[in-house]
Structure 1
Amino acid sequence: MNAPTTARPTPRELGIAVGDQPPGTWNAITDVPGVRVGHTTLHDGARLHTGVTAVVPEMLGRGPGQRRALACGLFAGNGYGKLVGATQLAELGELETPVVLTATLSAFRAADALVSHVLELPGYEEVRTLNPVVGETNDGFCSDVRARPIAESHVRAALDGAASGPVAQGCVGAGTGTTALGFKGGIGTSSRVVDVAGSRRTVGAVVQSNFSGTLTVLGVPVPVRGDASRLPAPDDGNSCMIVVATDAPLDARRLDRVARRAVFAMGRVGAGFTHGSGDYALAFSTAHPDDRLVPDGDLDPLFAATMDAVEEALLASVLCATTTVGHRGTSHAVPVDDVLGALRAGGRL
C-alpha cells in the first residue's frame, strides 16, 4: 500500500530542484489526472527485500464505455531485460493494462496476476487476448531473487491499493531491494507542469533504479567513498525502469520520442549504460483520443519536462532510500551530508 511519507528527505526538501519548470501538487506521477500508484513491500530478515509497484491509469477497463487502451510509446536504451509485453506495445503503440514493476524472476508471475486482475474487471467478460505490461530490475544483491516470492496476492494488493496523491519513495514496492549508482536505490517520482501549444499540461514520471555509474547531482559527481568491494558485482543486475505519463494529447510515435528522452535523463545522474543494463522507458498519454495532437514542433517543453522529471525522480530514488542489510551484502544509503557538501563546493547550493 502507499504511504503518505518517505523515510528520508526528498531532493526538494534538501534544496535540490531540477530545472526551472514547477512541479505539480504532489511532485509525483499522480499529478497527471487519472493516474494512481500502489506499492506492496516485502521484507523477511536479510533474505528478502522486494515488492511490487503498480502504475494504474484509471480510465483503463473500469467498466462499460471505458477505454481499453491508451496511446503509449517505448524506448529501450539497452534491452538486457524482461519487459513483458514489449513487442506488442511497440507494434501497436497501445497500453492495455496497468504497468506493474517488480523483481526480475518474479516478472512472469506478476504478469499472470495482472492478466487475472484485468479479466475480472467489468466489461472484460468476452476478452480473449490481453497484453500485460510488466517491467523489472534485478534486486538479487539485497534479496533472494531465485526465491521468486512475489505472489498473485502481492500484485493485487498493489493494484487495489493504488491511489492518487503523494507517492512513497525509496525502499518501497519494486525498489525495496535495488541498488543504484553505488548506493541504495529504489522508487522515485516527480512531475512538471508546462505550457504546450497554448495549454497547461502535466508530465509525471516514476522510476525503479538499479544501475551502475557515479551518482551525479545537478552536474556534481558524488562518488562512493571507502571500500568499493561493498558494491554489488556486475552480475547482480544493472537496470532501470521508467514510466512517464502525461495528459498532453500525443500519439504513439510522439510518445516514443518522449520515452527516448526519459532514458537520456539517466545520463544526467551518472548512469554507466553498461552491457548488462536493461534501461527501458514507457510513456503513455491519458488525453482523450479525439483531442488535437500536439504538433512535433511544439514538443520541446514536453521533452524538457520529461528529462527534468525523470532526473529528479532518479535522484529521489537514491536520496530517499535507506541502508538495507540484504541477502548478499549491505546496500548503503547515500550520505546526504556528502551530497550537500559536494553541491556547496561546486556552487550549486
Structure 2
Amino acid sequence: MTDHQPSPVPSHPHPHPGPRPRARDLGLVIGRLPTGPHNAITDVPGVRVGHTTLRRPPRVHSGVTAVLPGAVGPDRPLSAGVFTGNGYGKLIGTTQLAELGTLETPLVLTSTLSAFRAADAVVSWMLDRPEGRRAQSLNPVVGECNDGWLSDIRARPVREEHVRAALDGATGGPVAEGCVGAGTGMGALGFKAGIGTASRTPVAAGRPVTVGVLVQANFGGTLRVLGHAVTPDTLGLPGARPTEPVPETGSCMILVATDAPLDARQLTRLARRAVFALARTGAAYGHGSGDYAVAFGTARPGSGAVPDSALGPVFEAVLDAVEESVLNSLLTAQTTTGLHGRTLHALPADFLHRLPPGPRPPG
C-alpha cells in the first residue's frame, strides 16, 4: 500500500508474497524459557499492535507501528522506565518517562523526520478518546529510526491519518514482522531488517509472568548467530558489497511489556537489559545510533510487587526475547531496493546451513 491508502496492514499475514520464517521455524531457539502462545509482545494481556505501511517504490519505504497497552491514558497511567544506550535519536517524551516513571499514551514508532508529526497525531488521537476527554496535558511517547538509506526521508510521508490508522487498527494475536509499519525501510547488521517481536513466560516470586518485546531494528555492527559472524559477503549474496558505505544513521527502538507487578525503577532495570541484549546480536552502538528501550508494566497497583531478589528470571526473559526479536526482524524481512537504487538483502532462510562447523540450534 502507499501513503494514499492509509489503512493499517493487518498483523497477519505478511504483506509480501511468500511468508518468511521466524527464528524458531529454523530450529533456532534462544535461551531456555518458554514463549507465550504467539511468541510476540501481544502475549502480554491487553497489549495490541498496529501497523501502517507506506510503500511507493522506489522512493518511499516507510510507515508507523503502534503499541497499545490497554486503555492507557492520563487518568490511568502505567508504570514505565526508559534507558538510553546511545542517545543519537529522537525519543519524544523521554524526560517525563524518566522523571515520573509513568506512561500515559500508546507508544508509536516511525521514521526520524516523521516523529514530530507522529507525536502531534498521538495527542490528537488521545484527545478524541474517552481516556483523554479531561486531559489538559499529555506526554506522547514516539520513537524513531532513520530509514533514509532506502526511503526519501526528507519527504516526511507519514501523516496524521497514517498514525491514526495504526492506532485504530491495533489488534492482539500474531504480529506482522519484517518490512511492515515502522520497519518498512529499516536495515540492521548489514541486512534488510524491520519489526521483530518475541515473548517469554518466566516465573518470578513463585508466579508465572509474561515478558514481551518488540524491536524496530536499524543498527550497525556485524551479525552474530550461534557464535558465528554472518555478513552478506560470507553468505555470497549477489551485489552484497554496497557501492557506498551505509551511514551511521540507524538506531534501535526496543519496547518491553510485562504483566509482572513492577515499579518504575524495576522497569528501568528491564529497559537496561533490553539495550544490553543488542550486544548479543553484534550491535556496534555507533556514534550515530540511537539505541533506546522503554519498558512498561500492565499490572495495576495492589497486585503485589515482585522483590528485586526475584527479578533474575525476568532479566533473562528480556535478554532472550530481545535477541530473538532482532533475529525475527532480519529473517522475516524481504530484500528491498529503494532510493537511488540502493539495495538491502534479506538474510537467507537457509543461512544456518552456510555457517562454518560449530554450535547448532537444538532440534
Same fold (TM over 0.5): yes
Give secondary structure in 2 for the equivalent of 1:38: strand
Structure 1 residue matching 2:216: 3-state secondary structure: strand
Range with bigger deviation, 285-294 or 251-260: 285-294
Q: Report the more deviating stretch, 98-107 or 283-292.
A: 283-292
Moved more, 290-299 or 229-238: 229-238
Question: Match for residue 101 of structure 1?
Answer: 109
Question: In structure 2, what is the Cα distance between the partners aligned to 1:287 and 1:142?
Answer: 39
Deviates more, 1:5-14 or 1:41-50: 5-14
Distance 1:14 1:287, change over 3 A: same
C-alpha deviation, 1:312, in angstroms: 0.2
Cα 1:340/1:72, change in 2 over 3 Å: farther
Aligned-partner Cα distance in 2 for 1:237–1:39: 23
Partner of 1:207: 215
Matched, 1:317 2:325: no
**Counterparts in 2 of 1:1-349, with a 5 A limit?**
1-6=9-14, 7-61=19-73, 68-225=76-233, 229-230=241-242, 233-235=245-247, 237-328=249-340, 329-342=342-355, 345-349=357-361
Q: State the percentage of identical aligned residues.
A: 59
Q: Matched residue of 2:350: which SS?
A: helix
User: 1:205 & 1:162 partners in 2: Cα distance?
Assistant: 16
Q: Which amino acid aligns with 1:339?
A: L
Amino acid at match of 1:167: V
Q: Distance in 2 between matches of 1:206 and 1:231?
A: 32
Provide the C-alpha distance between the structure 1 equivalents of 2:75 and 2:206, rounded to a whole number of angstroms. Answer: 26
> TM-score, with normalisation over the residues of structure 1?
0.95
Question: Aligned-pair distance for 1:21?
Answer: 0.5
CA contact (8 A) 1:36 1:58 kept: yes
TM-score, normalised relative to structure 2: 0.92
CA displacement, residues 185-219 of structure 1 (integer Å, 9 cap, x when unaligned) = 10000000111101010000000000111111132
* Residue pair 1:24, 1:202 contacting (<8 A) in 2 also: yes
Q: Give distance in 2, aligned partners of 1:291 and 1:140.
A: 44
State how far apart, in whole Å, the 2-side matches of 1:218 and 1:49 are.
Answer: 31
CA RMSD of superposed structures (Å): 1.5
C-alpha separation in 1, matches of 2:157 and 2:252: 21
2 CA distance for matches of 1:234 and 1:256?
A: 32
CA shift digits 1:261-281 (9 cap, x unpaired): 000110000001111110000
Please tell me the residue identity of whatever aligns with 1:312: E
Deviations 1:219-275 (CA, angstroms, capped at 9, x unpaired):
222122066641774536120000000000000100000000000110000001111
Counterparts of 1:231 and 1:262, CA distance in 2: 33
**Number of residue equivalences:** 344
Q: Extract unaligned runs of 5+ from structure 1.
A: none
Kept after mapping to 1: 8 A contact 2:248/2:289: no
Partners of 1:138 and 1:236 within 8 A in 2: no
AA matched with 1:18: I
Deviations 1:83-107 (A, max 9, x none): 0001111110000100000000000
State the distance in 2 between where 1:22 and 1:67 align: 35
Per the alignment, in what secondary structure is the counterpart of residue 42 of structure 2? helix
